[in-house]
Structure 1
């Protein structure tokens, strides 16, 4: 085949496992053959609507089988797929559509109000509406207002169609065009915590090599059944879960959103073997009333990212004979950088593990020189899974890369004598108090030892004397209580006094990204005064 990209995977799968279940979405099972045929029909239909090689096709919404149809359709025809966060407001979606130059937007009905506003003046010519999954509710995301400007002129007419009708209008007549591993496949927009979001341009090679890294470093089999409960528009779910599973020929059970009771039911019903998530996901599962009685005997691989797994959560799963594989990554590395195998999760507690098989990592000081084991510095990453550029952002490229090959992650960390990575913190989250560096991740890990603490985020707030001082924001487990004295007493003797939070603020819930990470920028805006 001329097509060497991810768009060729389904066609290559036909002879090996065409009649095997590829996707289970709600109550519908789709074989690899059916997924291939639907994606080829959609590719044909998109071509008839003006999409060609290099064109951009966006998808906005929660997990849905149409996400896969769209991604593989775009990849098979050399177009670029643009998945968008379903929690964004219309102005944020409008920015991504305009910045990427997408001409087609595909989305479920539930986010239709947001999408209808977001496409105005964006360059989108076709809006294709997907039927909602059963039980879907209309988005509660604020629609927002798009101001095209007084001299913007009339808004072009946008063709609105139904997804199934569009697919049915296409034909299964694949055109095998030349697509190399260096060609662009997906634009994923970063969270944009500082300035406007940047579009990370992931190539077919980035996604392929990341998937190979996963298959080398984790125990995947064609007989596996992977449950996808995190949003596919997030790189961790897409790169560490969905794509490796499909490359291997496994089955993916796709859920629109996370619900712990339903997840426990699905594990038993579909004999789930693999789950990827964040610590909060796994904590909510083991604290659910059905946990003790749920049949989870089929599980074998639990992959957790975002932060270290709290010891009490680790204990709960080990009591059921399960361990966690951890890791560290980012959008720009598709996303895997390091992995920690389950059998070393106790020995190397708090570590993000060793670099993935085909990925290299360095820790450097402010002058770009390698540091010794135990010394904190910035993490640099290199490998075939690492992007080469951002979409239309040459100034960001110049800032992000050293020697044009090593990506500056913006994360601080250190390695132990065995080469295992420990994350210190994001550079922007580091607190400088009286000239001393405080890494919130370290303080948070100790506070999480308290049984009463469900979650914690430590931020820096301005202080006249010290410049900044740490403040802890905590959520409390049901039936427990936390006081400032409790936290400070627990920290006494465990960490230096200057690292101890000067205030402890209890909140009902943390502001989170769609991937489950705490939005510290929001906490600083609320409590930083």
Structure 2
């Protein structure tokens, strides 16, 4: 199984591995081990239960929980029934989670204790809740499951069929659900052979299953018959111990995790010789940190650059190109990456001195933003032939060798600890306080998180609210991954002649 057909489903690949090697381990968490035979049977029971509940292909479920074997099995079982999965971040606010569940039109909600505490008690008319951890957060998963041996009705899945809905919005306004099709996920699987995935693969994942960062490695591992070790919460020493214990071969980490691992005083005391490939994505990866990883951590280092929306990927095989660590690599096979100027005109590749917004096309592209055709159109760019590209909002430039260097993000998204934070969401919350006349949020460098959000506030005349009081108030309204590191009062926000807030000047104020 080292080669891939043009299109297939991950659920079917699990079935094939279960038939060939039913006792091979598929999933491990801190409480449970599941082999392929048991995983395949559990997926059947989950798919059958969903069908018995009236769900049909194209319907959706939501999952809001920490990573676990049961979480993974529910995700896979839903896919077997042709049902899309909306994995939601437990760190979001209750209001944000409610909006996302509603936007996804989820028919069932799978939770654990921690997530249920955030979401709150169900109200009349709420969708059914199933507790993944056997708690009182909902109906027990074991009780909800169809009987042992149950077989779901076979469904036909097309490349365009919805696979999952990944939410990238924050706490206010319309949630933005990125609909990814089965074809997009299969494109991720197809490149797996190049990176050594196979039955002997052991992948350690400490990023959450609701993150696209995790899923781009999780699914290829299982599609090639490997084992996934799920770490519900990252800590550097615990990660190193698991890596050594399980003889891990593959992993996905965001840059801030690499930073914490490399800085741990016991890093070099652990045997990491089993590693074949390490991956990174989601945030800027410092060249010096890449060099340190290459020097001290066995195995190749691969950086993926792209968006959850898809539209093409750049790949830096850092171990093969040590002189290009300042870049995010070259376009992946099948990815058409181009640059456009401010007027959305294509910049010829020969103009290597000219930077532009990065746009991309590939087989791995979102169908669109769920129920938001206008936002979908805003994210698209079409070349002269009508070929569809996804706009990244990032500004970059190709060098003479075809490697892409990124300079800045046109969109002011902040990436903190691998999580996307949208300043407009935080600004909207701040404007809900009576003391706030005007505000802007920017991302500033952070050794701990990579970036962290800082707010500047113009206070209403005569208001006596203090900076500390306002900071505590707004952080209580935000999800824990969004909270402000600092808040500063300012007499007036710097603006351009056309009224645009000059956020670069605000960032410079933080550094003074």
Instruction: Establish whether TM, by shorter chain, passes 0.5.
Output: yes
Cα 1:166/1:400, change in 2 over 3 Å: same
Counterpart check, 1:245 vs 2:247: no
Cα 1:524/1:183, change in 2 over 3 Å: farther
Q: CA deviation at 1:472?
A: 5.1
Q: CA deviation at 1:63?
A: 0.7
Cα 1:173/1:188, change in 2 over 3 Å: same
**Separation of aligned partners in 2, 1:166 and 1:471:** 44
Q: CA deviation at 1:358?
A: 2.1
Residues 109-508 of structure 1: pairs in structure 2 closer than 5 A: 109-117=113-121, 119-120=122-123, 124-131=126-133, 160-167=138-145, 169=147, 171-192=149-170, 195-216=173-194, 218-239=195-216, 241-305=217-281, 306-312=283-289, 314-315=291-292, 317-333=294-310, 337-371=313-347, 372-403=351-382, 405-429=388-412, 473-475=445-447
**Separation of aligned partners in 2, 1:299 and 1:160:** 39
Alignment gaps of 5+ in structure 1:
139-158, 431-439, 442-456, 460-467, 478-510
> Normalized against structure 2, the TM-score is what?
0.76
Q: CA deviation at 1:286?
A: 1.9
* 1:73-106, Cα deviation, whole Å (9 max, x unpaired): 1111111111001211211110001111112000
Cα 1:127/1:27, change in 2 over 3 Å: closer
Q: CA deviation at 1:368?
A: 2.4
CA contact (8 A) 2:48 2:153 kept: no
Aligned mate of 1:28, from 19, 28, 32: 32
Q: CA deviation at 1:245?
A: 0.7
Counterpart check, 1:17 vs 2:9: no
Cα 1:209/1:472, change in 2 over 3 Å: closer
CA contact (8 A) 1:283 1:313 kept: no
CA contact (8 A) 1:323 1:345 kept: no
Q: CA deviation at 1:283?
A: 1.5
Q: Secondary structure at the match of 2:405?
A: strand
**Separation of aligned partners in 2, 1:52 and 1:36:** 20
CA contact (8 A) 2:251 2:277 kept: yes
* 1:416-438, Cα deviation, whole Å (9 max, x unpaired): 111111112210239xxxxxxxx
**Separation of aligned partners in 2, 1:526 and 1:96:** 31
Counterpart check, 1:54 vs 2:58: yes
**Which deviates more from structure 2 when the two are superposed, residues 230-239 or residues 161-170?**
161-170
* 1:174-220, Cα deviation, whole Å (9 max, x unpaired): 3222111111111111134885331111100011112213443x333
Q: CA deviation at 1:32?
A: 1.2
Cα 1:107/1:474, change in 2 over 3 Å: closer
**Separation of aligned partners in 2, 1:474 and 1:58:** 33
Q: CA deviation at 1:43?
A: 1.2
**Separation of aligned partners in 1, 2:322 and 2:288:** 9
Alignment gaps of 5+ in structure 2:
416-420, 424-439, 450-474, 494-512
**Separation of aligned partners in 2, 1:124 and 1:524:** 37
Q: Match for residue 6 of structure 1?
A: 10
Q: Match for residue 482 of structure 1?
A: none
CA contact (8 A) 2:312 2:336 kept: no
Q: CA deviation at 1:255?
A: 1.0
**Which deviates more from structure 2 when the two are superposed, residues 269-278 or residues 364-373?**
364-373
Cα 1:410/1:185, change in 2 over 3 Å: same
* 1:34-78, Cα deviation, whole Å (9 max, x unpaired): 111101101111222222222211100111112211111111111
Cα 1:170/1:55, change in 2 over 3 Å: farther
CA contact (8 A) 2:312 2:337 kept: no
Q: Which runs of 4+ in 1 moved over 6 A?
A: none
Q: Match for residue 79 of structure 1?
A: 83
Q: Secondary structure at the match of 1:242?
A: helix
CA contact (8 A) 2:327 2:404 kept: yes
**Separation of aligned partners in 2, 1:471 and 1:116:** 31
Q: Secondary structure at the match of 1:292?
A: helix
Q: Match for residue 111 of structure 2?
A: 107
> Normalized against structure 1, the TM-score is what?
0.74
**Separation of aligned partners in 1, 2:50 and 2:8:** 21
